[in-house]
Amino acid sequence: MAAYQFPSHSTPSSKSLKHPSNPFVRLLSKNHGILIKSSPRTINLRAKLFKNPTKTSNSDTQIQNFQHCFTKSEDGYLCCEGRKVQDVMETVERSPFYLYSKSQITRNFEAYREALEGLNSIIGYAIKANNNLQILEHLRKLGCGAVLVSGNELRLALHAGFNPTRCIFNGNGKTLEDLVLAAQEGVFVNIDSEFDLDNIVAAARIAGKKVNALLRINPDVDPQVHPYVATGNKNSKFGIRNEKLQWFLDAVKAYSNELKLVGVHCHLGSTITKVDIFKDAAVIMLNYIDQIRAQGFEIDYFNMGGGLGIDYYHTGDIIPTPGDLIDTVRELVLSRNLNLIIEPGRSLIANTCCLVNRVIGVKSNGTKNFIVIDGSMSELIRPSLYGAYQHIEFVSPSQPDDEICTFDIVGPVCESTDFLGKDRKLPTPPVGTGLVVHDAGAYCMSMASTYNLKMRPPEYWVEEDGSISKIRHGETFEDHLRFFEGL
Ligand SMILES: Cc1ncc(COP(=O)(O)O)c(C=O)c1O
């Protein structure tokens, strides 16, 4: 598979800083907790624009109705659902912190629900993307099922009140203990390998319950994404080998007291921005379903996984909507009278949140300029891990005399790979300026660590009425010491 190249967003060569030491220091004007009256604008989200005039009304409706939570106020401040992010910074206990829009989560879910109208379906939210309990409870109340990749994610989903019969347990290394819990609770379980099948059979016996199972098959379709987030190709560690399908079908038949094969599953990868890829995979998977049904199995479910990408670059690229995604497989699913399971993570939660940081200082090493912030790879690792691009901007307007330079935005962690953005053309910020990393709702907090003893940050969301609520406590140094108590 050819490695996908992230588009380069480097800007023209940087100007060196005229005054590398202290002229950046400027006191921030305080603007405590003022409720901003402006409501979020209905913006013409460039990412949603399907310029194809023949496109169906599904997409057109979503363009018109699309409302994004992060907007600019008329005086140039970044707002989340009409609340100035700068005001939120002044009121919360510490920086960095994650700031979400609850309404944006609802809107993203509704986009999937509308897209699936007319189909029997389960929207299984991939908890790995973001496991905040308040967010899970919100999604569960909206009607979401859950997709789990560990025993603890299963326990958390149960704790959040998800209906187990709308949950799917995935994974290439599920333990017997976790499978027993899954069997007891009646969640769908994906069969990933020969040993996984043995463990599921054993779990069913221990639980005294038959497991509804799906076979995870690799369609071997190239998702055209970074190789680290590609999963549905032949060399992936996930799923069964196509040529072993008959072996698995025979095994399932042999264990008919323990297993009921109800469906097939595939997951191609993540950040996919071409829906044709999903269609190609669906055609292959439906062919497998036809073969399996021909042997007398009652296959009711096609689980097409997650993977829809988002507009990380904020450059107006055409990113398919949930409606576009479902439309590409709708007729296929209906033609076989199947229930469709989808497993979105990123496209449900990523754009609902940003990581809010403060500028600690600005420096230059002669050839490169750096904005050093209090956030880092510990709180948000995607740029360091995958070279991923996330859009960065300041929360307040710049001043006319703020020199525009090309900067790397880096954290204080003792690693050269500790960067949040590279080669960004930005006005030189005064110390203390708020700086956000956008689209931080997925695979950011859930991947956060305490490296360098940077304790995991608190999380907040803007409620539907515009008030700010804390939805997760920040970790503290005392939390860390607790791991050593009583040893
Ligand atoms: C099996 C499975 N389902 C769903 C997802 C969610 O993918 P995404 O967040 O790209 O929608 C993942 C993540 O890679 C996954 O491994």
Residue with the larger pLDDT of the pair 479 and 61: 479
Per-residue pLDDT band at 18 (split at 50, 70, 90): very low
Q: Is the pLDDT of residue 38 over 70?
A: no
For residue 308, how far is its CA from the centre of ligand 1 (angstroms)? Answer: 9
For residue 470, how far is its CA from the centre of ligand 1 (angstroms)? Answer: 27
> pTM of this prediction?
0.87
Range name among 29-33, 136-140, 177-181 with the lowest pLDDT average:
29-33
Question: For a pocket test of ligand 1, which of 123, 147, 216 has the largest count of ligand atoms closer than 8 A to its C-beta?
Answer: 147
Catalytic residue status for 414: yes
The DSSP 8-state label assigned to residue 272 in this structure reads B
Residue with the larger pLDDT of the pair 33 and 303: 303
Per-residue pLDDT band at 356 (split at 50, 70, 90): very high
Residue with the larger pLDDT of the pair 6 and 271: 271
Atom index in ligand 1 nearest the CA of residue 348 equals 11
> Is residue 147 within 6 Å of ligand 1 at its C-beta?
yes
Range name among 14-23, 160-169, 339-348, 468-477 with the lowest pLDDT average:
14-23
* Token representation of residue 260: 């009921």
For residue 270, how far is its CA from the centre of ligand 1 (angstroms)? Answer: 6
Atom index in ligand 1 nearest the CA of residue 129 equals 9
Per-residue pLDDT band at 230 (split at 50, 70, 90): low
Q: Is the pLDDT of residue 461 over 60?
A: yes
Stretch 83-96: mean pLDDT, rounded? 98
410 and 372 in contact (C-beta within 8 Å)? yes
Question: For a pocket test of ligand 1, which of 267, 342, 346, 385 has the largest count of ligand atoms closer than 8 A to its C-beta?
Answer: 267
> Is residue 129 within 6 Å of ligand 1 at its C-beta?
yes
Q: How high is the pLDDT of residue 241? A: 84
For residue 291, how far is its CA from the centre of ligand 1 (angstroms)? Answer: 26
> Is residue 279 within 6 Å of ligand 1 at its C-beta?
no
DSSP 11-49: -SPPPPPS--SSTT--PPPP-TTPPP-PPPP----GGG-
Task: Give percent above pLDDT 70 in the chain.
Answer: 85
> Is residue 383 within 6 Å of ligand 1 at its C-beta?
no
Question: Quick one: which of 66, 75, 76 has its CA closest to 41?
Answer: 66
Stretch 96-114: mean pLDDT, rounded? 98
Question: Quick one: which of 307, 277, 308 has its CA closest to 48?
Answer: 308
How many Å apart are CA 278 and CA 474, to the nearest integer? 38
Give nearest CA residue, ligand 1 atom 1.
267
Active-site hit among 69, 405, 414, 444: 414
Q: How high is the pLDDT of residue 203? A: 98
409 and 130 in contact (C-beta within 8 Å)? no
Q: Which helix (H) or strand (E) holds 267?
A: none
Q: How high is the pLDDT of residue 219? A: 82
Per-residue pLDDT band at 373 (split at 50, 70, 90): very high
For residue 21, how far is its CA from the centre of ligand 1 (angstroms)? Answer: 45
For residue 348, how far is its CA from the centre of ligand 1 (angstroms)? Answer: 11
For residue 432, how far is its CA from the centre of ligand 1 (angstroms)? Answer: 36
Range name among 107-111, 197-201, 266-270, 345-349 with the lowest pLDDT average:
266-270
Per-residue pLDDT band at 201 (split at 50, 70, 90): very high
Range name among 134-138, 269-273, 277-281, 322-326 with the lowest pLDDT average:
269-273
Question: Quick one: which of 265, 283, 405, 415 has its CA closest to 342?
Answer: 265
Task: Give percent above pLDDT 90 in the chain.
Answer: 78
Atom index in ligand 1 nearest the CA of residue 170 equals 1
Q: How high is the pLDDT of residue 315? A: 87
> For the chain, how big is the Rg over CA atoms in Å?
24
Give the pLDDT confidence of 39-71 residue by residue, as tens digits: 333 332 222 222 222 233 344 444 445 579 999
Give the pLDDT confidence of 259-302 residue by residue, as tens digits: 999 999 999 888 888 888 999 999 999 999 999 999 999 999 99
How many CA atoms within 13 Å lie on the side-chain side of 148?
29
Give nearest CA residue, ligand 1 atom 10.
307
> Is residue 344 within 6 Å of ligand 1 at its C-beta?
yes
> Is residue 346 within 6 Å of ligand 1 at its C-beta?
yes
Atom index in ligand 1 nearest the CA of residue 347 equals 11
Q: Which residues contact 481 (CB under 8 A, 6 or more apart)?
A: none
> Is residue 126 within 6 Å of ligand 1 at its C-beta?
yes
How many Å apart are CA 297 and CA 300, to the nearest integer? 9
